[in-house]
A and B are shown apart, each in its own frame.
Chain A
Amino acid sequence: MPSAAARMRTLPVGSVGVRASGWWGMMCLIGTEAALFAYLLFSYYYFAVQFGRSFLPNELPSVRLSGPDTLILILSSVAVWWGERGIRQGSTVRLAIGLLLGSVLGAVFVGIQYLEWLDKPFVLSADSYSSLYFTITGFHMAHVAVGVLILVVLLAWSVLGYFDRVRHAAVSIGAIYWHFVDAVWLAIFFTFYVTPYLGW
């Protein structure tokens, strides 16, 4: 029986499994970015406990746009997860569909976020709440934008056939980043849209 390597016509791309150095690099990146958001959210809570209700805008933030937006981001995570599961079973098509859905939903998220920004009656420099709002959601949007870029690159690679059942470390690494960005959004959503209603 010819060995696996001999049967392959082109050389494989990427390492087997996910514990590649890229994976560790991503873990470290997630560590630093998680710390960044933890500090940003802590500053929000710091102001909130100092000033109580008067810190918040008169009209409490509504979930009209942000609620569906949150759902969209969660769905995009599910899509990427589904695609990654697909490539683990060797289905490049499922991977491509998952990545496509994920990146489109991610882009829609950014679009709706932007609408919400336009909707706000205040600007960045109005008060401590508005600065924090734009800084935190802005940082997050930047992370989503990077994530969409990553997904698009992965999509291109998967269409070019760089991935197979054993070699898809880049997909797993990119997916972890995407799930992380979603988890951060859930924390931000809870902070800005839920805690104001929990009583101060």
Chain B
Amino acid sequence: MRKLILTLALAAISDPAGAHAGGGRADFSWSLEPWVLASLGAAALAYGIGLARIRAEAGDRIVGGGNVAAFLAGLAVLFTALASPVDTLSDDLFSMHMVQHLLLMLVAAPLMVWSRPFLVFLWALPRSLRRSFGRFPARRGAARALNLLSHPVFVWSAFCGVFAFWHIPGPYGLALRHESVHILEHACFFASGYAFWAVVMSPGGRRRLEYGASVLYVGTAAVLSGLPGALIILTDRPFYPIHAEGAARWGLTALEDQHLAGLIMWIPAGFIYLAAICILFALWMREADRRAAAFARSMPTLAALIACAALLGGCGEGTEASSEAGGIGNVQRGAALISQFGCPACHTIPGIAGADGLVGPPLTKMGRRGYVAGVLRNTPENMTRWIRRPQAIVPGNAMPDMGISEDQARDITAYLYTLR
């Protein structure tokens, strides 16, 4: 095996003309196809416009430096995979093709998820279009379809299925022979990778899957997508005769090339999955810590309430019951947060001192309404979503994103739900 890797490394760094053993010239050029460059350029332009608009209205709270860096890095990886010698070489070598696929699925896709492209692209649209597109995901049918399509079980199956399917010799050969199928193949890889990582990454703070389940989700996908790699390594028959000539140009037999590809599919890819699992695990532990701390902090209040209940009998019972409305959050804290975040300046809110603002609609009887802001069904989840990110739901409306945390939004929701 070492000899094999050495050969490839040598082939890659030494003068290409000298490296080839078989006939033909080893091609080491760039493949600057116009449509690839045009689409990457268009994406960059749209992201730039959207970013400038978001920054002008909301500063860097929504799309921060980290997100922008992820976008640039993601773009660079896409460029490397699709336009650099990686692409040219992958016509010759199956192993390089594997590198290209992994770059698309496991590197470019998660970087792009972190850059929040849909949100930013939305802002690149003119205001009127933005409004109608922004409301689209909240439509009933669309919300259902999106929910189903982004369901972890579905996404997981699609990700593993797409990966395995395109490496079966039949479909793989078809993609190499027809450029359009090849483009479709790469689009499948990137799209399924994007959907896969979007389930476990939460640049917007809202997780689709809890951390524990996320670890299982990535772990099982890692094991499963190692299996095709194992099959490719464990055989003595070359599956992809289409690469025989190309491999010979780099001094490899088709079988050596194939074994190398299997190892790349198995080990470096395994490291990426492993890193993701480690990060998710660390975040999981941190969340558990934070929860424990929050619980400890809430203990004195609870003790005080119990004491109050003991002292005042019936009165205390009432306070306790109302302070955790339906397990959503803490009502008293919610009321305090409402004043603290300045909602009274824009809204008329019963029970909050000085809350007689007229910018937004009055929040009277909020607990009994059917819809939030006319677009989301009025559920605790949707209400907290709205309070945290009104701009993501109805872009351009007058209510700003205020950097409210999930817990704070829950407390505020709990208060609003007492208004019946």
Contacts and interface: CB of A to CB of B under 8 A. Distances in A.
B231 A45 contact: yes
B169 A50 contact: no
Interface in B211-267: 224, 227, 230-232, 234-237, 239
A49 B227 contact: no
B168 interface: yes
Contacts of A199: 168-170, 173
Interface in A146-200: 183, 195, 197-200
Interface residues of A, number: 13
A49 B170 contact: no
B170 A50 contact: no
A71 interface: no
A46 interface: yes
Nearest to A49: B235
Contact of B168 (A38, A50, A52, A198): A198
A24 interface: no
Contacts of A50: 234-237
Contacts of B169: 198-200
B234 A195 contact: no
A122 interface: no
Contacts, number: 34
B237 A52 contact: yes
Contact of B170 (A42, A46, A183, A198): A198
A49 B237 contact: yes
Interface string A42-55: 10011001101000
A46 B168 contact: no
A49 B173 contact: no
A49 B255 CA distance: 13
Nearest to B153: A183
Nearest to B228: A45
Interface secondary structure of B, over-half rule: helix
Contacts of B237: 49-50, 52
Contact of B239 (A42, A46, A49): A49
Contact of B171 (A42, A52, A183, A198): A198
B200 to A, nearest CB: 19
Given A46-B234, A49-B234, A52-B237, A195 B168 contact: yes
A199 B168 CA distance: 8
B224 A46 contact: no
A70 to B, nearest CB: 16
B363 to A, nearest CB: 29
Contacts of A45: 227, 231
Contacts of B235: 49-50
Interface string B155-177: 00100000000001111010000
9 A-B pairs with the lowest CB-CB distances in the bound complex, closest first = A199-B170, A198-B170, A49-B235, A49-B231, A198-B168, A199-B169, A45-B231, A42-B227, A50-B235
Interface of B: 157, 168-171, 173, 224, 227, 230-232, 234-237, 239
Interface of A: 38, 42, 45-46, 49-50, 52, 183, 195, 197-200
17 contacts: A42-B231, A45-B227, A49-B232, A49-B234, A49-B239, A50-B234, A50-B236, A50-B237, A52-B237, A183-B157, A195-B168, A197-B170, A198-B171, A199-B168, A199-B170, A200-B169, A200-B239
